[in-house]
Structure 1
Amino acid sequence: MNYLKKLGYTAVLTVCSVLAPPLVMAQSPVPVLTVELPVQGITLQYSQPTRLDQVLTDANANGALGYFPLSAQLFDRNAQPQIANVKQKVLDTLERLALQEPQVKSMIEQIESFDYQARYFVELDQNAVMSQADKNPLLVSKKITVVSKQSAWKGISAKSTEQQHFELYLTDRPTSVYVVGAVKQAHTLPLVEHAQLDNYLTLLPKGQLLGIADNSTAFVIQPDGQVNEISYAYWNGKAAYFAPGAIIFIAFDSLPSEFSTLNQDIVELLRHKVNL
């Protein structure tokens, strides 16, 4: 598990396995749904399709009580190849741009230093999930699947026969925000209540902003994956909210036309960053 690896573990130990409903090995040797909780070090397994509220209830019963909902993350392991492709596309674009603008190499290093997984964007506040039916989905992969003609003729969905595998990160309230993008290196800054972007930028070491940084616009990727574009120049500055654990992306300015979507592509990739 990524979290345990960061702590120096070379082997993964499942502390507890919860089977709900119980698996009968003679009838169903393989679980339909597996949800790993790397922070708590447990694995939940289910013998039939299961809704999110049940998973959160079981997680709370096994050490996740009191997590900070806004920074909780659910990842769809079956869809991992899709986000790997997104990452590679961004890196390929940055490599091409670096031939014209060497400063971009710092962004390449930042991208490669982060861990990304295919995020399953859904509300993870247990109260909201339990009280609103539209926020309580069955946990089924959103990966793009190709169904064979034979299966299609039989009316069989690829997703209906596939084992579902998710990772659920439930953590305490973060105490930091992160600055990435057109800076010499990524920075972790202490969370300051009611602070604005200018306040955070003053906490950076002098000379950290690159010459190709956009000096008036940035993006904030909130920990739940929501994105806000903010203006911070003195002539168009607007107040913005930075949630605990937010990522501040300093955009690149005056990109050549063939790289016009690069800022947005990087922001989309950062929405899938594992925030540990």
Structure 2
Amino acid sequence: MHTLQTYRQKHHKIIALLISTLAWCMLTTPAFSQPDTRVIASTEVEVRINQSNQALQLRYSTTVRLEQVLQDTLANLHQLPVKHSGQSLYWFGSMLWRSDSITRQVMKEQQSAVILQLQQLALQVRNKKPETSHSLQILANTLSAPLPGQRIIQSLDRDWVRISPDKNPGLNGQFRLQVITRPETVKVFGAISPPNVEDSDIKLSWQERKNATDYLQQVTPLTISNPDYLWVIQPDGKAEQHKIAYWNRNHKDIAPGATIYLPFTSLPDGYESLNDNIVDLLKQRPY
């Protein structure tokens, strides 16, 4: 009887030891032995040339480098019916946007906020400054065109992208790429006498070595325009302040496809950030 009890006690100890060993093994199983259940998102890039409505769709199963996207764009651009008369592509003015639905909605809200500011200010000054009010309303109309998304400000020059790892980011998600041929114009916005149309960009012929002051001579600044400086958004999306007063002006080149913005001054309380908001919005617009 004593022998049987001893056997049962030993049997129970062995079972307990096996259970505890099994539990320890389950707790300490290496993470890499578990199956990877993560979902890797695909990447889609919609490619357009100039202002064409026709688009080329590039699709990738996972993250893709910008260099590969540019290479595939060049390899497949012939599929678009748009003819560019043998002109080479103007990478300095080509644009890349993140264009997923969430990003587009965020940009739409920012755009709407700027347009609302312009419309409200136009109403405030309508009686005392009708010409300024008209200019503000036209600017609001022009900036209301839908945006492709949020622009990624970086060089799209294939040589720079290929040799510089920091200029060759991985893209994951939805994007839009606009490649363009070199334009022969610059656009002008801001505190200038309004044109005869209600929602059209003002384009001036680009000329080599012309500076901001030269272009301003072709338009009529409003009395509330900034007399000291304006903003030039170069085709690559970088904004530069160019001085235009007789006492501080210095020559800075303006590239084909640039956007010139003449800021408003004497803005009422609550509109202090309006000029900066407009410049940020102009960076996002396709040329």
Tell me if TM exceeds 0.5: yes
Aligned twin of 2:270? 258
Q: Is residue 117–residue 274 contact of structure 1 (8 Å, CA) maintained in 2? A: no
Pick aligned residue for 1:86 from 104, 110, 120 = 110
**Structure 2 residue identity aligned to 1:193:** E
SS at match of 2:171: coil
Q: What CA distance in whole angstroms lies between the structure 2 residues aligned with 1:47 and 1:212?
A: 53
TM superposition shift of 1:209? 2.3
Give the alignment of 1:147-166 within 5 angstroms: 164-166=173-175
Q: Is contact 1:31-1:46 (8 Å) kept?
A: no
Letter in structure 1 aligned against 2:119? E
> Could you say which residue in structure 2 is the equivalent of 1:51?
65
Question: Percentage identity across aligned positions?
Answer: 31
The structural deviation recorded for 1:202 is 2.1
Establish whether residue 272 from structure 1 lines up as the match of residue 272 from structure 2.
Answer: no
> 1:63-78 to 2 correspondence within 5 Å?
63=77, 66-78=88-100
CA distance in 1, matches of 2:46, 2:168: 18
Which AA in structure 2 matches 1:90?
V
Paired letter, 2:138: S
Q: What is the match of residue 252 of structure 2?
A: 240
Q: Specify the code of the residue in structure 2 equivalent to 1:167.
A: R
Bigger proportion of residues as helix: 2
Mapped to 1, the partners of 2:112 and 2:148 lie a distance apart of 11
In 1, Cα distance between the equivalents of 2:258 and 2:148? 16
For 1:268 and 1:214, the matched residues in 2 are separated by 18
How far did residue 200 of structure 1 move? 1.0
Output the CA distance in 1 between the equivalents of 2:204 and 2:262: 14
The residue correspondences of 1:208-247 to structure 2 (distance < 5 A) are 208-247=220-259
SS at match of 2:77: helix
**Counterpart residue identity of residue 181, structure 2:** D
Identify the residue that residue 214 of structure 2 maps to in structure 1: 199
Aligned to 1:36: 46
Aligned-partner Cα distance in 2 for 1:187–1:219: 15
- Distance in 2 (CA, whole Å) between partners of 1:59 and 1:116 is 18
CA distance 1:67–1:52, shift in 2 (3 Å): same
Question: Are the aligned partners of 2:98 and 2:151 in contact in 1 as well (CA < 8 Å)?
Answer: yes
How far off its partner does 1:254 sit? 1.3
Aligned-CA RMSD value: 2.0
Aligned partner of 1:135 in structure 2 is 167
The 1:125–1:249 alpha-carbon spacing in structure 2 relative to 1, beyond 3 Å, is same
* Other-structure match for 2:189: 180
Look up the SS of the partner of 2:118 in the other structure: helix
C-alpha displacement of 1:46: 0.9
- Find the counterpart in structure 2 of residue 4 from structure 1: none
Query: Which aligned runs of 4 or more in structure 1 are off by greater than 4 angstroms?
Result: 113-116
Structure 1 pair 224–35 and aligned structure 2 pair: CA distance change class (3 A): same
Q: Which runs of 5+ in 1 are unaligned?
A: 1-29, 141-163
Question: How far does residue 106 in structure 1 lie from its aligned partner after superposition?
Answer: 2.8
- Structure 2: gaps spanning 5 or more residues: 1-39, 79-86, 127-132, 196-200
User: Which amino acid in structure 1 is aligned with residue 47 of structure 2?
Assistant: L
> 1:251 deviation in Å?
0.6
Cα distance in 1 for partners of 2:148, 2:225 equals 24
**Counterpart amino acid of residue 199 in structure 1:** D
Instruction: Give the partner amino acid of 2:184.
Output: T
The count of corresponding residues between Structure 1 and Structure 2 is 220
Return the offset for 1:68.
Answer: 1.1
Contact 2:41 2:63 in 1 (8 A): no
State the shift of 1:115 in Å. Answer: 4.6
Q: In the TM superposition, what is the alpha-carbon distance from 1:87 to its structure 2 partner? A: 0.5
Say which one has the larger Rg.
Answer: 2
Deviation at 1:242, TM superposition (A): 0.7
The reply on whether 1:96 has 2:120 as its aligned counterpart is yes
